[in-house]
Structure 1
Amino acid sequence: MKFRTKIVLNQAHNQIDYNSKLVLIGSCFSENISEKLTYFKFNTYKNPFGILFNPIAIENLITKAINQTKFTEKDIFYLNERWHCFEAHSNLSNVDKNTLLANLNTSVEQTHKNLNEASHLIITLGTSWVYRFIETDLIVGNCHKIPQKKFLKEILSVKSIIASLENIITLVKNINPKINIIFTISPVRHLKDGFVENSKSKAHLLAAIHQLIEPRKNINYFPSYEIMMDDLRDYRFYKEDMIHPNKLAIQYIWEQFTTTWIHQEAFPIMKEVETIQKGLAHKPFNPNSKQHQQFLKTLTEKKKTLQNRFSHFTF
Structure 2
Amino acid sequence: MEFRTRVKIDRPEFEIGPCEEMLFVGSCFADNIGRRFKEEKFRATVNPFGVMYNPASILHTVERTEAAPRVALFTLGTNHVYILNETGEIVDNCAKRPQRLFTERELTIDECVGYLGRAVDVLVGRRQDVRVIVTVSPIRYAKYGFHGSQLSKAVLLLAADKLVRERPGRVSYFPAYEIVNDELRDYRFYAKDMLHPSEQAVEYIWELFSEAYFSPEAKRFIAEWRPLKEALGHRPLHPESAEYRDFMDKTMLKISELSKKYPNFAL
After TM superposition, the structure 1 = structure 2 runs for residues 208-247 of structure 1, keeping only pairs within 5 Å, are: 208-214=159-165, 216-247=168-199
Shift of residue 41 of structure 1?
A: 0.6
1:119 paired to 2:42: no
**Counterpart residue identity of residue 16, structure 1:** I
Q: Are 1:11 and 1:259, in contact at CA under 8 Å, matched by a contact in 2?
A: no
Structure 2: runs of 5 or more not aligned: none
1:130 paired to 2:81: yes
Shift of residue 183 of structure 1?
A: 0.6
Distance 1:174 1:280 in 2: 39
After TM superposition, the structure 1 = structure 2 runs for residues 3-22 of structure 1, keeping only pairs within 5 Å, are: 3-18=3-18, 20-22=20-22
Shift of residue 277 of structure 1?
A: 1.2
Match of 1:108 in 2: none
Cα RMSD (Å) of the superposition? 1.8
Distance 2:188 2:240 in 1: 42
Match of 1:305 in 2: 257
Match of 2:243 in 1: 291
**Counterpart residue identity of residue 156, structure 2:** L
After TM superposition, the structure 1 = structure 2 runs for residues 1-315 of structure 1, keeping only pairs within 5 Å, are: 3-18=3-18, 20-63=20-63, 65=64, 111-112=65-66, 114-115=67-68, 118-214=69-165, 216-315=168-267
Shift of residue 19 of structure 1?
A: 5.4
**Counterpart residue identity of residue 31, structure 2:** E
**Counterpart residue identity of residue 256, structure 2:** K
Distance 1:155 1:235 in 2: 29
Identity across matched positions, percent? 34
Shift of residue 2 of structure 1?
A: 7.3
1:211 alignment partner, SS class = helix
Distance 2:170 2:53 in 1: 23
**Counterpart residue identity of residue 24, structure 1:** F
Distance 1:61 1:244 in 2: 23
Q: Are 2:25 and 2:61, in contact at CA under 8 Å, matched by a contact in 1?
A: no
Shift of residue 173 of structure 1?
A: 2.0
Shift of residue 165 of structure 1?
A: 1.7
Q: Are 1:18 and 1:43, in contact at CA under 8 Å, matched by a contact in 2?
A: no
CA distance 1:304–1:35, change in 2 (3 Å): same
Distance 2:144 2:238 in 1: 53
2:134 alignment partner, SS class = strand
CA distance 1:262–1:135, change in 2 (3 Å): same
Q: Are 2:110 and 2:159, in contact at CA under 8 Å, matched by a contact in 1?
A: yes
1:212 alignment partner, SS class = helix
Aligned residues: 266
Shift of residue 38 of structure 1?
A: 0.8
Distance 1:249 1:150 in 2: 38
Distance 1:245 1:32 in 2: 10
**Counterpart residue identity of residue 170, structure 2:** N
Distance 1:243 1:30 in 2: 15
CA distance 1:28–1:222, change in 2 (3 Å): same
2:163 alignment partner, SS class = coil
Structure 1 length-normalised TM:
0.79
Distance 1:62 1:180 in 2: 14
Structure 1: runs of 5 or more not aligned: 66-110
CA distance 1:207–1:284, change in 2 (3 Å): same
1:197 alignment partner, SS class = helix
Shift of residue 57 of structure 1?
A: 1.1
Distance 1:246 1:170 in 2: 34
Distance 1:311 1:3 in 2: 44
**Counterpart residue identity of residue 139, structure 2:** V
Q: Deviations over 1:13-45 (max 9, x none)?
A: 211112531111111222111111111111211
Match of 1:104 in 2: none
CA distance 1:287–1:167, change in 2 (3 Å): closer
